[in-house]
Structure 1
């Protein structure tokens, strides 16, 4: 459907909304059933909201919306309406779900178990939100904005914010809470990376061979993988040579090596990690 000169894919929009809602619900469950009852906090605006709640008694479900809105307005100005709308929707769902989950009995009162499983669950939730094009933390938007105005990277700015916020938990709750919060934050960050970039453990491979036609044909027909042929030049002899590039799963690396070395035993292969892959199959798909 076309509206005001723009084509709207309602199926993609529906999948985005569902992903944002599911991610926010999972995130809220991890916070309210594991972390918050044990005085363990997350980083970013969520952590600030939890600290303010502990000091003032204002409900977390209210603070998470009020404190994030200024950041999302900045995001609207800097990064566009799409991200701002997606982030606002995710935060509203998080707020509504938090008002429900906080009335339930905590999943565990063991701070160690809460740290491990809470970090995993909120990491999955935030990863789904990010993969759906949203955000649950306004400090990320501030970091992107400050990146253009300072010599620090986005990651360094976010780390500074979070170390300050998580360290403050030691003064508001206890230093045990601060240390548990740091562990939960580390686990959460690893899970966010795993979910948002994919779990397929894909590998990119560069193949330098003189028999590029035969090797490319074998990869396409024997493994059902697409191959891209790049034109290159040797650094020492300055001779022209072609380089093949393809992406396979971790389990297919050994088979690909066998296929290549069966044709050209002297072929050079470079294998590296690929974070996210779409397409690349030949069988049942178009190249």
Structure 2
């Protein structure tokens, strides 16, 4: 990829990511303020902790806690995952905090906690999933889980769920036992909605790419994602032509970026992805995202 086209492609991709992260942050904040917060239903992760602290420490608002508590995780993501991911996550968190403050007095959609948990979970999950699809995150526990899963046999979803069982359980002590049950409902619905939006909650995905632009795509995956690739030689069953096949393993957070890279070089490339429950051996090279 020439320097000019690489810069042009990177700028276009970045603008697109920030646009959808803005939408995702707004939808996330609306789900909180129009459904969950008025009905004393909380979400998991740093968001849930922030809502609990907002209830306990009234002079400090939820939006302040959301930003401050996420800063250590953003720094961790910057060091371990990449600066574009950290910047886009921080942008999303700041926006969701601002939107949450602006929407705080919005009229609740429903005053029925069960309906709020169900539909609030859907709206919240759609917002979070939109941000995740565009190389960002709205909650520090997602970043921490991404890093921990690479060192264990547990998926991101399993680790996040483990954290949230304790966080959502504590809602019973701060609000009421009913809040815990409704919060669990909202969390599981949001979890499944994120699953649908992102298309896969597992940390790792194996990817097979059949393309004539294998060298360009392979170099881009190495330089932009920091992922090593393996080249296979195959033969077309119908044409009998020799084809190069790229194989690599990526994280869930890198899926959208990989698709953009392949689409840029070869829109007609054949791409097959499958979930990988565990990765052992070999080496995941640290990302080098600019």
TM-score range, shorter chain: 0.5 to 0.7
Note the alpha carbon deviations across 1:231-283, whole angstroms, 9 max, x for none: 69xxxxxxxxx699xxxxxxxxxxxxxxxxxxxxxxxxxxxxxx999699xxx
TM-score by length of 2: 0.66
Q: CA deviation at 1:145?
A: 2.9
Residue 13 of structure 1 pairs with residue 9 of structure 2: no
Structure number with higher relative contact order (C-alpha < 8 Å, ≥ 6 residues apart): 2
The 1:243/1:54 distance shift into structure 2, 3 A limit, reads farther
Structure 2 counterpart of 1:73: 75
Structure 1 counterpart of 2:130: 128
Q: Is the 1:230–1:243 contact (alpha carbons within 8 Å) kept by the matching residues of 2?
A: no
Q: Which runs of 5+ in 1 are unaligned?
A: 199-228, 233-241, 245-274
For 1:268-287, list aligned pairs within 5 A: 286=268
1: CA distance, partners of 2:133 / 2:153: 28
Q: Which runs of 5+ in 2 are unaligned?
A: 201-232, 240-254, 270-290
Residue 119 of structure 1 pairs with residue 117 of structure 2: no
2: CA distance, partners of 1:190 / 1:29: 19
2: CA distance, partners of 1:81 / 1:170: 38
2: CA distance, partners of 1:30 / 1:187: 13
Structure 1 counterpart of 2:56: 55
- Structure 1's consecutive aligned runs of 4 or more residues displaced over 4 angstroms after TM superposition are 148-153, 229-232, 275-280
For 1:261-272, list aligned pairs within 5 A: none
2: CA distance, partners of 1:150 / 1:196: 22
Residue 39 of structure 1 pairs with residue 40 of structure 2: yes
CA RMSD of superposed structures (Å): 3.1
Structure 2 counterpart of 1:204: none
Over alpha carbons, which structure has the higher Rg? 1
